[in-house]
Structure 1
Amino acid sequence: MIDSYGRTINYLRISVTDRCNLRCQYCMPESLPSIDHEEIFRFEEILEICQYMGELGIHRFKITGGEPFVRKGCMDFLRQLKALPCTEQVTITTNGILLGEFLPELKEIGIDGINISLDTLQPEVFRQITGHDGLETVLENIVKSQASGIRTKVNTVLLKGINDNEFPDLLHLARDYEVDVRFIEIMPIGFGKNYEGYNREKLLPKIAELYPNYQVTTKQRGNGPANYIKIPGFRGCIGFIDAVHGKFCHQCNRIRLTSDGMLKLCLYYENGLNLKKLLRNGAEPAEIRSSIESAILQKPSEHRFYLSALEGEPEHRKMSQIGG
């Protein structure tokens, strides 16, 4: 579907839960309450919405959380979503703790990609950031995932004074394994406002000091807006996602579905379309499709994170409540 600014919208990020088995301080610390169970969008409701999305030309789906695998029935849902006639691609983002037990099934259903969040290679820093142990398990599952032949990426958020000194070691995951390592600029949403992060402008010169012969690659390596470089001798690429300082709103192709059934058109803005209300109030399929289409045509031209004074209707929910 084409929005009012001429952008092709073909990608839906779906949060299936706001719950997680880790407590990353910039995302979901212990103090954050979970959404009531009855308010969570049911899997059958998500599948119905995905069929309407397919009719509007949105055929690529990213499953996120919270942590998707903590929700009971997630694998059955993924299997059904992958089997929908409209589906071209299904990928998933996970913290990697539970991934190992689901990898055989994910391979069987033909999952198109797995993104694994990992911010550190030091057990004590892992515990500091996430509130739990489990680094060894995550690393094992990264190795298993790429060895299975599933396209695997590692998503890393560098935080000043916490894990930023580790970027050379994190780079080496792409040297040693068939994975892309992507450095994601922390979003100034919720608890993320309390941290100072890194963008490509800050990080690339540091990488260039270590690997001056790196090459910029323009080959598309996913659905998102990442910019990639290739370092000679590395098996994977290094990516940068700079949502704030490297604004890519002009080519944004995505919308988001929160775990409580809200269709979000832009991460910055709080407003959206309450799909759960439409479905549970018995709206006809034609009305739901029309409502989704009208909402997409109202997708804003850009976010406002770069402004010192927030404009419009900025999002007040935390990142885990929206969907990472």
Structure 2
Amino acid sequence: MLIDNHGRIINYMRLAVTDRCNLRCFYCMPEEGLNWLSRAELMTYEEMLHASEFLVNMGIDKIRITGGEPFVRKDIMHLLTGLSQLVGLKELTITTNGVLTAPYVAQMKALGIKSVNLSLDTLDPNRFFAITRRDEFADVMNTLDELLKHDFEVKINAVVMDGRNTQDIIPLVELTKDMPVSVRFIEEMPFNGDDHTYRGLNWDHVRILNEIQASYPTIKKVRDPAYSTSYNYQIPGHKGSIGIIAAYSRTFCGTCNRIRITPQGTLKNCLYDDGVLNIRDLMRAGLSDDEIKASLLNAFSHRVADGWEAERLRVEKTGIHESMATIGG
């Protein structure tokens, strides 16, 4: 079991397999995209599997595959197959935008993957195009249909953005009436690739809940799972549920159980830090697993108390200029 310097268990790793994405969401990156990492800068699948194996041996029992968009990377099923076979890994999940995912759903199910997070900020095709700068709404909805057909646990992640999609809050909530999905509303964060100025948070978790309560006054709070980043709710009579993630307010830091590894192998103890060591470089330098584990344990023993501390330390050095695509969400 991994325990950090604040007594928090670390058992969940988010592994970003690429920084590339086939959408250009305005809140994440410029319209022309980013300066993509070269193939040599990316961790190979073999390096990802090796790192995952010794981290699972250290105490990680849940891995979420993220990007960028994971299915943009060639032969992603090779990595998923290898990860699904790791002894000690209890849960393998994926976050995807759904554009390319549908053809892989049956294979994912066969590997034992049970849960998928689907990024979907609007149910209106025109607003989808305005937000993502791509006409891919039909493919995303097809992926949602395929996931439900194969009995996946589906979480729909929607970033709430003032003046962009707040009119979609209630339509997204209405999905939970007849679909067994969890619709999760996420506070907007400043990781935008410098494409637009982040003006602060106009829709925090309290305002989002108030908006939902105005249409559904019977909505009730339900118990949050251990280490949950979302406040969770249920509307009586609805098949699905609702979650609200205070991603900018950072109210969940006291129970944070997660680490992140970027596509180039940088370990992030916190979404808001700028990286604490590079696992890829340690492996390529020829360090043994025991030496790498020692470096990791040292990093875990110096985790910041919360995202506010991480952001303060980062801004003092480099500021926040990243895209969410480069850090895996």
| 8 Å CA contact retained: 1:304, 1:310 | no
Q: Does 1:120 align with 2:137?
A: no
TM-aligned CA distance change 1:298 to 1:165, over 3 Å:
same
Q: Alpha-carbon deviation of 1:82?
A: 0.9
| 8 Å CA contact retained: 2:264, 2:280 | yes
TM-aligned CA distance change 1:22 to 1:259, over 3 Å:
same
| SS, match of residue 3 in structure 2 | coil
Q: Alpha-carbon deviation of 1:223?
A: 5.8
Equivalent residue pairs, number: 323
Amino acid of the residue matched to residue 200 of structure 1?
Answer: H
Which residue in the other structure is 1:297 paired with? 301
Amino acid of the residue matched to residue 215 of structure 1?
Answer: K
CA–CA distance in structure 2, aligned partners of residues 52 and 215 of structure 1: 41
Q: Alpha-carbon deviation of 1:310?
A: 6.9
Which segments of 5 or more consecutive residues in structure 2 lack a partner in the other structure?
none
Q: Tell me the alpha carbon deviations over residues 92-134 of structure 1, each in whole angstroms, 9 at most, x when there is no partner.
A: 0000111110001011001031000000111111111111111
Q: Does 1:216 align with 2:216?
A: no
Aligned to 2:212, which of 197, 202, 207?
Answer: 207
CA–CA distance in structure 1, aligned partners of residues 260 and 313 of structure 2: 25
Which residue in the other structure is 2:326 paired with? 321
CA–CA distance in structure 2, aligned partners of residues 46 and 308 of structure 1: 30
TM-aligned CA distance change 1:216 to 1:130, over 3 Å:
same
CA–CA distance in structure 1, aligned partners of residues 97 and 178 of structure 2: 20
Query: Which moves more between the two structures, 158-167 or 297-306?
Result: 297-306
Which residue in the other structure is 1:164 paired with? 166
Query: Which moves more between the two structures, 22-31 or 209-218?
Result: 22-31
Q: Does 1:257 align with 2:258?
A: no
Which residue in the other structure is 2:109 paired with? 107
Q: Alignment RMSD, CA only?
A: 2.0
Aligned to 1:244, which of 244, 248, 268?
Answer: 248
Q: Alpha-carbon deviation of 1:86?
A: 2.3
CA–CA distance in structure 1, aligned partners of residues 70 and 313 of structure 2: 34
Which residue in the other structure is 2:230 paired with? 226
| 8 Å CA contact retained: 1:244, 1:305 | no
TM-score (norm. length: structure 2): 0.93
Which residue in the other structure is 2:13 paired with? 12
Which residue in the other structure is 2:27 paired with? 26
Written as runs of structure 1 = structure 2, the 5 A alignment for 1:138-149 is 138-149=140-151
| SS, match of residue 278 in structure 1 | helix
Query: Which moves more between the two structures, 93-102 or 170-179?
Result: 170-179
Query: Which moves more between the two structures, 275-284 or 167-176?
Result: 167-176
Q: Which runs of 4+ in 1 moved over 4 A?
A: 305-315
TM-aligned CA distance change 1:241 to 1:34, over 3 Å:
same
Q: Alpha-carbon deviation of 1:161?
A: 0.8
CA–CA distance in structure 1, aligned partners of residues 316 and 64 of structure 2: 27
Q: Alpha-carbon deviation of 1:8?
A: 0.4
CA–CA distance in structure 1, aligned partners of residues 191 and 22 of structure 2: 21
Amino acid of the residue matched to residue 18 of structure 2?
Answer: T
Aligned to 2:66, which of 60, 64, 67?
Answer: 64
Query: Which moves more between the two structures, 196-205 or 42-51?
Result: 196-205
Which residue in the other structure is 2:75 paired with? 73
Which segments of 5 or more consecutive residues in structure 1 lack a partner in the other structure?
none
Amino acid of the residue matched to residue 288 of structure 1?
Answer: I
Which residue in the other structure is 1:36 paired with? 38
Q: Alpha-carbon deviation of 1:193?
A: 5.0
Query: Which moves more between the two structures, 209-218 or 188-197?
Result: 188-197
Aligned to 1:98, which of 76, 97, 100?
Answer: 100
Q: Identity over aligned residues, as a percent?
A: 37
TM-score (norm. length: structure 1): 0.94
Which residue in the other structure is 1:176 paired with? 178
Amino acid of the residue matched to residue 178 of structure 1?
Answer: P
Q: Alpha-carbon deviation of 1:88?
A: 0.9
Q: Tell me the alpha carbon deviations over residues 62-85 of structure 1, each in whole angstroms, 9 at most, x when there is no partner.
A: 100000001011111111101111
Q: Does 1:54 align with 2:56?
A: yes
